[in-house]
Structure 1
Amino acid sequence: MTTVSGESLLQQLKWRYATKKFDSTKKIAPADWAVLEQALVLSASSYGLQPWKFVVVTDAALKAKLRPVSWNQSQVEDCSHLVVFTAKEDITEADLDRFVARTAEVRGVPAETMAGYKGYMLGDLVKGARHAVIGEWTARQTYIAMGNLLTSAAMLGIDACPFEGIEPAKYDEILGLAGTGYRTISACPVGYRAADDKYAALAKVRYDIKDVIDLR
């Protein structure tokens, strides 16, 4: 197993910031984007269920349509890739069967061996009290993936700007998500900071460790 040093990790986390201005002439290399794709796929989720899809927009015309419904933020057009985080609107037994089938395929085990696990998920997400707020549950899962994207991008020296300053229903309309079972939650432009983005040089403001870490 290859690891990075703690110093390198913290250096990149201190380097990253919510990029306010991207260099529209710089694009993420295919090899680097392939890594970020895998990072998104490898993101953690409750039960490992992955109740999401990541819509990646690189087409300039489509970005231009999305900018007005993104509080007119320039990052939408100027970034290399715009990652739109969408979540499942509902979780059904069919979704659990799909996940069980995929697990059996990947791990080379009979699907029947996962009957207990499926039953546990069914009792929680489909038939349990959580189902009344299942859309909130799936939405929260996407933020795990967004955090993973931010860290992964930073480790590659790629900039990002997570934001909720969008009109999700308008995104759904423009991206043709109606009827797909998924809805827009948030978006995250990724690419490279512009040389004149003044925010890049600002000190990162965080509370002291003692104020946010309660070690017991």
Structure 2
Amino acid sequence: MQLIENLKWRYATKKFDASKKVAQHHIDYIKEAVQLSASSYGLQPYKVLEIKSPEIREQLKPLSWNQTQITEASHLFVFCNTVEVTDKDVDDLMQLKAKTNNIPIENISGYGNFVKGKIKEKSAIEMFYWTAKQTYIALSNAITACATLQIDCTPMEGFDANAINEKLKLKAKGLNATVLLAVGYRHSEDTAQNQKKTRKTIDTIFEELK
């Protein structure tokens, strides 16, 4: 039940207290929650950039509609989806899977070939949006981890992805900036914290098919 209370507590923070920093062990907890995220075939086709440089964060701010969370939050993460998943990515996963479970790679080579075949069925645009969807699962885990720790965060789509891709040289890495996550502590002057959470009712969201 505590999880529900924590999710009721959280909100998309509009103004962070720049003087308050999140402890490293809490950041590590959030990172582990991301690392443990579910993904299709277990491929985790994304990378998360932690922007530590104040100078880079200042440069990203005008590319993100000048939102103050970019520079005032304790930490800023850029969740990037992998633009293309290759056979090597699948082979690397199978090797890791075999090593982790202490089984011969031959035992799962058939599954690896199956995954490669399914991935090859996707067009470039289908691949792009498929990996982006996986990235959002990881983002959701990070948001939930923050709520569990009662640390504030704000997921942000309000930015020029092409400009951020260019600024961070993501294209050369085969990555695309999907969504940002600002993490820190709310400012006492953030009026958004006093607003009641507005959500559809459970009966509206769920429908039973009998």
Query: Which TM-score tier does this pair reach, normalised by the shorter chain?
Result: over 0.9
Q: Alpha carbon RMSD of aligned pairs, Å?
A: 1.2
Indicate if the aligned counterparts of 1:81 and 1:190 stay in contact, CA closer than 8 A: yes
Amino acid at match of 2:69: Q
2:38 counterpart of 1:44: yes
Amino acid at match of 1:75: Q
Provide runs of 4+ in structure 1 moved above 3 Å. 129-132
CA distance in 1, matches of 2:125, 2:173: 20
1:18 to 7, 12, 17: 12
Q: Is 115-124 or 21-30 further displaced after alignment?
A: 115-124
In structure 2, runs of 5+ residues without a counterpart are: none
After TM superposition, the structure 1 = structure 2 runs for residues 82-93 of structure 1, keeping only pairs within 5 Å, are 82-93=76-87
Q: CA deviation at 1:132?
A: 5.4
Instruction: State the TM-score, normalizing by the size of structure 1.
Output: 0.93
1:133 to 117, 126, 129: 126
2:152 counterpart of 1:159: yes
Q: CA deviation at 1:210?
A: 1.0
In structure 1, runs of 5+ residues without a counterpart are: 1-5
Amino acid at match of 2:93: F
Correspondence for 1:211: 204
Q: CA deviation at 1:131?
A: 5.6
Count, aligned residues: 209
Task: Give the % identical residues.
Answer: 37
Amino acid at match of 1:70: S
CA distance in 2, matches of 1:165, 1:73: 8
Once the two structures are superposed, residues 19-58 of structure 1 have per-residue CA deviations (whole angstroms, 9 ceiling, x without a partner) of 0000101111011111111111111111110000000112
Correspondence for 1:94: 88
Correspondence for 1:115: 109
Once the two structures are superposed, residues 88-128 of structure 1 have per-residue CA deviations (whole angstroms, 9 ceiling, x without a partner) of 110111111111111112111111111121122111112x2
Amino acid at match of 1:170: A
Once the two structures are superposed, residues 46-73 of structure 1 have per-residue CA deviations (whole angstroms, 9 ceiling, x without a partner) of 1110000000112211110000000110
Task: Name the SS of the counterpart of 2:49 in structure 1.
Answer: strand
